[in-house]
Amino acid sequence: MVVLVLFSTWMVEFLVFSFLGLQCDLAKYTINVPDMVSVQEGLCVIIPCDFTYDPNDAIADSPLYGYWYEQGANADSNAAVATNNNQKRIEEYARGRFHLSEEVEHGNCSLIISDARRTDLKKYYFRMEQGPKAKFSYIKAEQNQPFVSVTELENPKIQMPEKLQAGHRVNITCIAPESCSWKRPHVSWEHLSHQVRSGIPAMQPNNPKDHISVFTFTPSVEDNGQELTCQVTYGEGLNPLHINETVRLNIHYPPQKLRISTEVMRSNKSLQNNTDSSQITVEKGDAVVLHCVVEGNPLPNMTWVKTLQPSGTLRLTSGNELRLLNVTTQDAGEYKCVAQNTEGFANTSVRLSLASNDASSQKVVNGVIGGLIVAGVIMLIIAAILVFKKFQRKRKTAIDLESYTKQKTVHNKSPPVFKEPNGIGLNHEEGKDVSEAQEKMEGGTEEIYSEPEEMYYASIIFNAQEAHPGVTSNSPPTEYAEIKKSQCTDFAGN
C-alpha cells in the first residue's frame, strides 16, 4: 500500500513536471534563426542566431554549452558540427570550418561556415545545455532548422555606362560577393592604359550581400579596345581565393586621321600610287581610284562629293572608294571625302587635274633634246679616244725615227776600213749595225702600222789607190769603197 502511494506520488510529480516543462518549452525556450542562408562555394557565411532558455532550469554555476548538429542527428550519440564544449566530438568534414559564436552565454548562437563546400548543403539545428535539467534541442518547429544553400562561385560583376565617350569622365563599378570579416574581398584593377591607371578606386558602403568598388577615370581614344579587369582576392596567406571579371572598353570618338589614297591606271597598268596627296595630275582616258581611310567609333559612314564652280557640291556616291573611268576634262576638279558618325564628322579633299596637250608636246620635245645631248656626249667621248690613240702612235713613230737618226750619225763618222782587194771596203761592225738598223726598221713597220714603209739607199764609189814610190808589192791592188747612206726623203726632196 505504501509502495502504491509512493508510486502514485511519483507519477503525479512526473506528469506535473512534464506539463511544466512543456509550458517552459513554449514560453521560455525560443530561438531566432533564418529559414535559409546562401553562400557561394569557397566563401564563408554567418547564420545569425539568438536563443533564450529558462534560467530556473539551469544551474547558475554550470557552464552554458551550445551545439550545432545536422538535421536528424542524435545529440547523445552523434558528433556535432560546431560547439564550445571541448569534450564533444566534431564531425571530420566540419573541423576547422564550422564555428560557434563565442558569446553563447549572452544568447548568441550564430554559426559561421568558412570555405563552403557543396557537401555543406543541408539543414542544421541548435541545442543548449546548462546543468542536468536545462537541456533543449530547438527542433520543435520546422522553421527553427535553417537550410544552408551552397552555390557555384560567381565572378565579380562590372557595371559601367552603356556609352563611354572619349574625354568624358565616368564611373566603373565592380561588384563582388560579400564574405566574412576575416575573409573580406580585396578589389584591384588590371590591364589598364596609362590614363585609366590614373583613376582612384572608391569604396561604397557595404551591402549585406555584395562588396562594391567604384573606379573613376576619363577614357581616351587610346583606351578603345583595351581590356579592363576587376580582380577580387579573398583571404591572405598561402591559399587565397582569386576571382576576376574582364571587359573590353568600347570608347566612342568622332572621325579622325582622315586621308585619301589615289591610284592612276593607264591601259590596265598602275602608273602611280599616292597616299595623303592633295593633288594629282592625269591624262585623258586614264582611270583614277580614290580610296578614303578614316578612324572612328562607331565606324563612320563615308560619302564622296564634288565641289562645283562657282559654288555648291554634288553628291557622288557612298562608301570609302570612288572610281573615275576614262577621265575627261569634265572630271577635273576637287573631290571631297566626308566621314560622319554619332560623335561628329570630318572631311578631306584631293584635286584632280588633267595634263594639257602643249605640256605633253613639250615633254616629247624635251625628251628628244635630251636624247640628242646624250648622243652628242657619247660621240665626243669616242672622238677623244680616237684622237688620243692617234697621238700615241705618232709619238711612238717620232721616237723610233729619232733613235735611228742617232745611230746613222755615229756610223758616218767612223774611219774607212781597208780590206783585201778581193773584198768590199766595209767594216764588219758597221755592217752589223746596218743589219741591226735594217732589222729594227723592219720591226718598226709592224709597230708603226699606219705609216708607209721608209726606204734607205746607199751609194758606193770605188777609187783606185795610188802606189807609194819605191814600194813594190806582189799583192794585187786594193780597192776602196766609200759608202754613203741617205734617207729616201732626201731624194724625194730633190
Q: What tens digit of pLDDT does each residue of 123-171 get? A: 999 999 998 888 999 987 666 899 999 999 999 999 999 999 999 999 9
CATH architecture for the domain at 256-355: Sandwich (2.60)
Label residue 448 by pLDDT band (50, 70, 90): very low
Rounded CA separation 480/344 (Å): 127
Q: CA 135, 138, 141, 144: dihedral to nearest 10 degrees?
A: 170
pLDDT greater at residue 411 or residue 258: 258
Q: Who has greater pLDDT, 415 or 390?
A: 390
The string of pLDDT tens digits covering residues 273-329 is: 777 678 889 999 899 999 999 999 999 999 999 988 777 778 888 999 999 988 998
Global pTM value: 0.56
Angle at CA 27, nearest 5°, toward 21 and 31? Answer: 105
* Domain residue ranges in the chain: 25-151, 157-249, 256-355, 407-493
Tens digit of each residue's pLDDT (9 = 90 or more) over 243-254: 999 999 999 999
Quick one: average pLDDT of 202-228?
A: 78
The CA-to-CA distance between both ends of the chain, in Å, stands at: 204
**Most trustworthy range by pLDDT among 21-25, 143-147, 191-195, 283-287:** 283-287
**CATH superfamily name and code, 157-249:** Immunoglobulins (2.60.40.10)
Q: Top-level CATH class of 25-151? A: mainly beta
Sequence-distant (≥ 6) Cβ neighbours of residue 135 within 8 angstroms: 127, 128, 129
- For 90-109, b/e burial (b = at least 16 CB within 10 A) is bbeebeebbbbbeebeebeb
Q: Which residues of 163-188 are buried (b: 16+ CB within 10 A; e: fewer)?
A: ebbbeeebebbbbbbbbbeebebebe
Domains 25-151 and 256-355 share a fold: yes
Q: Taking all residues of the chain, what is their mean pLDDT, rounded to a whole number? A: 77
CA gap 182, 44 in Å, rounded: 9
pLDDT at residue 45 in the model:
93
DSSP state of 80: B
Residue 7's pLDDT is what? 38
